[in-house]
A and B are shown apart, each in its own frame.
Chain A
Amino acid sequence: MTKAALLLAPALFLIGGSALAQTPPPAPPAAAQPQDGAGGLVVDVEGGVSAPMPIAIPTMPTAAVVETAAGTTDVLGRQLSDIIANDLRNSGLFTPIPPAQLRTVSVPEVTAPAFDYWSGTGAQSLVQGYVRANGDGTLTVGCYLYDVTARTELTRQGFVVPPAEWRRAGHKCADSIYARLTGEGPYFDSRVIYVSETGPKAHRIKRLAIMDQDGANHRFLTNGQSIVLTPRFAPNQQSIVYMSYLGNRPSIYVYDIGSGKQRLVVQNASLTFAPRFSPDGRYILFSMAQNGNTDIYRVSSQGGAPQRLTDSPGIDTGGSYSPDGSRIVFESDRSGGQQIYVMNADGSNQHRISFGGGRYATPVWSPRGDLIAFTRIAGSFRIGTMSPSGGGEKLLTNQWQDEGPSWSPNGRVITFYRSGRGSSGKADLWMVDLTGRVERKIPTPLDGSDPAWGPLRP
């Protein structure tokens, strides 16, 4: 969808259903401002010193206070504004003005902002919206973005959500604002799967857990009886591939999120690990150790006989597909220590791309295709990025032990886990953006490791 289309023909998106792009427009139409989508207000995501943009996000009004399964529409309006403000603040690119400092907005005002007032708040941009309970039990959330200085509308969207998914309307609204002002792809309406940890360091209890990208809707998927490691989403987000010590046989499993059922991927193997789906979901890339030698294989995600892709006498592991599925980045110690290599999807043309000091591990290909994220081991563990040809290495974090990067759906943010030293050293989930300046801990109920960021939700 182009920006011009958004400006001229506001559409209603159905969330949690099968279709989108419903009519009519979300609110009484305002005159669309003819504007060049590339001009006006822009947030610089690459630049060096630009301060976060001040943005006003007043509480979303409701024309009629109605009780819904998600709560009353007036309370939902406040909560949705908070979700949008949190998402934008967490990106590091925006400074939301505290809602307590902002006036109350009426429903008619949503499409006709009081620009004289807003320009006095210091906000450069303004997000207004409304909440409406529909007769069929769903909620409609309108979302409007204005340039306060130019006094123009920048985007408008409406979202229809079932009550159970009301938070997604806030994330979708924040995504449309982020995308419009940065020119980058959206990423707030997405989930993270990770390993929740608790207990003493010598005997950590590990459980699979899934949550929204902002930590909401947290839920455990396994009960901690077996060690579980390295979960990763299927592209359709309906299943997860991960490693479990179930029955004391460390192996990779595919876990169906909806049914809670799982199946062993490779039968009769001594040790299978480091699984990851191909971008089309047809294959699972994984590592298998046999008699002390580890190589990379791929297997149909339906099961069957694995196909071997590497045959070096060293440890080849940590494979990750390029977004077009044509290449695989992996790590190997065939040169003496862990380094990053790229090969074609059939295993041909294996060549090394990392040559710096220390060791390089856990390479993951960005969903944009332009970068490889990795863990660099040189005394400490640091998260970094390099191009698929090995150039432009950049280290983003600098703590004792940061490991296991995973990309946001738009390739702008990396989640990873950070471990502390010693017997009380625990692991937590973190995010860092590509500049390395915006770094943030993700709140989780217990400790956390092995985060994997899922794709944008449909």
Chain B
Amino acid sequence: MKAKTLMLAATALVALAGCSKKRPEMLPPAPGVAPTVGDANAGYGDQGNGAATPGSNADFVRSVQSNTINFGLDQYDIDPTARAILDSQVEWLTRYPNVSVTVEGHCDERGTREYNLALGDRRANAAKNYLVARGLDASRIRTISYGKERPVALGSDEGSWAQNRRAVTVVLDR
């Protein structure tokens, strides 16, 4: 799996015609290019198959209350519901100390693009800070902000916006 992902990354690199020679140094660990990026709910597809590999993202999604916490409009505080979800994530992550995660911060469409990138970063870091305060090693947790680029709910209504204001914890499958 790892080799395949690496090959994908290498192909992507070549396909981007005219890359600078520095590009390879900037490449992150290969799993970052995996299809789960920005689409963490894809993991739900494994539910019910009963065959999730222990320590995998599919296993994580099955085991925790949720991989996603939500926020109020223009807010980034961790409310009691979010705390309970993150606590369940901490419990699982404590069982798999070699697993690393990315916390994705997302926003609804009612903020401007650049502001939302900053707000998504706030949300991802709020979740990360909570996980670290609960004893996880900060070096296991990377954050990334998608601003309003990757909504999960497509409507332009309060319900959709509430779903899109979120931080999603994604296990980096190896």
Spell out A's residues near B (CB within 8 Å).
200-204, 222-223, 225, 227, 229-230, 246-251, 259-264, 270-271, 273-274, 287, 289, 291-294, 315, 317-318, 331, 333, 337-338, 361-362, 375, 377, 381, 400-401, 403-404, 419, 421-423, 425, 449-450
Contacts and interface: CB of A to CB of B under 8 A. Distances in A.
B7 interface: no
B18 A260 contact: yes
B18 A422 contact: no
Contacts of B52: none
A292 B22 contact: no
A315 B119 contact: yes
Interface residues of B, number: 47
Nearest to B154: A423
B86 interface: no
Contact of A227 (B39, B118, B126, B149): B149
B149 A289 contact: no
A253 to B, nearest CB: 9
B115 A338 contact: yes
Contact of B112 (A201, A248, A375): A375
B146 to A, nearest CB: 8
Given A270-B143, A271-B121, A404 B113 contact: yes
Contacts of B117: 229, 250, 271, 273-274, 287, 289, 317
B16 A423 contact: no
17 contacts: A202-B151, A227-B149, A248-B28, A248-B32, A248-B33, A249-B32, A250-B117, A250-B145, A251-B26, A261-B19, A262-B20, A287-B114, A292-B121, A315-B118, A315-B122, A337-B74, A425-B156
Nearest to A251: B26
A271 B119 CA distance: 12
Contact of B149 (A204, A248, A291, A318): A204
A362 B111 CA distance: 11
B68 interface: no
Contacts of A318: 112, 114-115
B68 to A, nearest CB: 14
